[in-house]
Copies of this chain bind each other. A is one copy, B any other.
Amino acid sequence: MITTHLKKLRQRFAINAEEESAIRAAVADTRKIGADKVLIREGQPLNESLLLVSGWLARSKDLAGGERQMTELHVTGDFPDLHGFTLKRLDHDLLTLSDCTLAVVPHDRVRRMIERFPRLGRIYWFMTNMDAAIHREWALSLGKRSAISRMAHLFCELNLRLDVVGETRGDSYDFPLTQRELAECLGLTAVHANRTLQELRRRGLIALENREVSLLDRSGLESVAEFDPAYLYLEKRAI
């Protein structure tokens, strides 16, 4: 059930059998939810965190005018809600972008787990710091990259993150977002996201049809994006 999550952890850290079973034991329950729902509302009090077993989520913040900015995307194996363990409420909404399966991890179990295994505490702390690193890269995109470079960068990021958890087929992967949702990730309007996407297609860099992305020219795409995966901290490490 949380095998994919363990794959994500093991990309960076050695996890022994004892630690693995502690992680598995932290899961209390499993829950399914449909696409386009608010999974967690900003400000809502939290005493459990949700691990994404399958599907796509987005962190979303909005302005009074109703416009939304996504600040991060989450895929199978991510623990999007983990920082709720310390924050006790979120500063943003968590939205489902597809049908999702979630593992419920009560906060008291997280706490007991990391008290028994302080190393897992540091590992999960690392994981939330990685989310912050992704936020910073998105801030760079939003502040300084052009629309086309921004979009190219997002597709590169997702390709690598999905590859880690075995959710790619070559340089292709499922991509359930509508163009409007894609636009909300990139700080663009849906109209301009559409034109930008067409420009990426015209240049032969990507294909996107039937909710599937293919990176047709990965190095060309990475070069348009100025993509450097260092911020994803993919290398094996001690902690």
Contact = CB atoms under 8 A, between A and B. Distances in A.
Protomer copies:
2
B145 A142 contact: no
Interface centre among A126, A135, A187, by most chain B C-beta atoms within 10 angstroms, is A135
B142 A233 contact: no
Given A132-B132, A142-B142, A142-B187, A137 B61 contact: yes
Interface string A201-239: 000000000000000000000000010001101000101
A212 to B, nearest CB: 26
A44 B69 CA distance: 32
Contacts of A126: 86-87
> Which secondary structure dominates chain A's binding surface?
helix
A63 interface: yes
A183 to B, nearest CB: 10
A204 B238 CA distance: 54
B144 A69 contact: yes
A135 B142 CA distance: 12
Interface string A76-119: 00000001011110011000000000000000000100110010
A104 to B, nearest CB: 20
A42 interface: yes
Interface of A: 42-43, 59, 61, 63-64, 67-69, 71-72, 83, 85-88, 91-92, 111, 114-115, 118, 121-122, 125-126, 128-133, 135-140, 142-145, 186-187, 226, 230-231, 233, 237, 239
Given A118-B118, A187-B144, A230-B91, A61 B136 contact: yes
A136 B91 contact: yes
A131 B129 CA distance: 9
Contacts of A140: 61, 63, 69, 71
Contacts of A69: 139-140, 143-144
Contacts of A137: 61, 91
